[in-house]
Amino acid sequence: MEFFGAYQHRIDAKGRVALPAVFRDGFGDQRVCFIAPETSQQCLAVYPADEFKLMVGRLQEAKRQGRFTQRQLTNFMAAVAQSSIDAQGRINLPEHLRAFANIDKDATLIGAANHIAIFPADVHNPETALDNLIDVSDLL
C-alpha cells in the first residue's frame, strides 16, 4: 500500500495518536508498526512490518559497503520502537521519539509513499504540504 495525504491529529495523555482510517489498511492483519527517528527531517517515520524488514536489509547492506559503522546501525535500531495498532486505530509514540521530533500535543501525519511521516503540527500541517512541491510531470 502507498500512503498519501496529510492529516492533523492530537497526541493523547498516554502518548498515543490515532492513525487516519485511510492509513490503517496499510498495516495488514498484523496491525503492527515500527517507529523510527528520521534525522534528515527531524520527524518520526512509521513503517509497516514488511517495509521495515526491507529497510533493515538495505541498512545492513549499506553497513557492509562501509557507508556507516556497526555502532551507528546499533544506535539507530536501539531508537526504533514497535507498536501495535489498537482497536481504536491508535499507536503509541514513546517519549524518547516524541522528544526527538519535538512532538507535544498536535501532530501532522503525512503519507510518504512506503511509510507515514509524523511532524509537530506547528512544523507541518495539511496546508503547508502544498509548499515546496516537486514537479512530477516529467516523470510520467
Residue 116: inside a domain, yes or no? yes
pTM, 2 dp: 0.89
Residue 140: inside a domain, yes or no? no
Residue 126: inside a domain, yes or no? yes
Residue 49: inside a domain, yes or no? yes
Q: Residue 85 sits in a domain of what CATH number?
A: 3.40.1550.20
The predicted structure's pLDDT at residue 28: 87
Total domains in the fold of the chain:
1
Mean pLDDT over the full length of the chain = 91
Boundaries of domain holding 92: 6-131
Residue 139: inside a domain, yes or no? no
The predicted structure's pLDDT at residue 29: 87
Residue 136: inside a domain, yes or no? no
Average the pLDDT over each of 48-62, 65-79, 117-131 and give the range with the smallest value: 117-131
Residue 138: inside a domain, yes or no? no
Task: Say how far apart CA 98 and CA 128 lie, in whole Å.
Answer: 21
Strands of the sheet with 81-84, listed across from one edge:
6-10, 106-111, 116-120, 43-48, 32-38, 81-84
In sequence order, what DSSP letters do the residues of 86-131 get, joined into one string? -TTSEEE--HHHHHHTT--SEEEEEE-BSSEEEEETTT--TTGGGT
Residue 1: inside a domain, yes or no? no
Whether 127 shows a pLDDT value over 60: the answer reads: yes
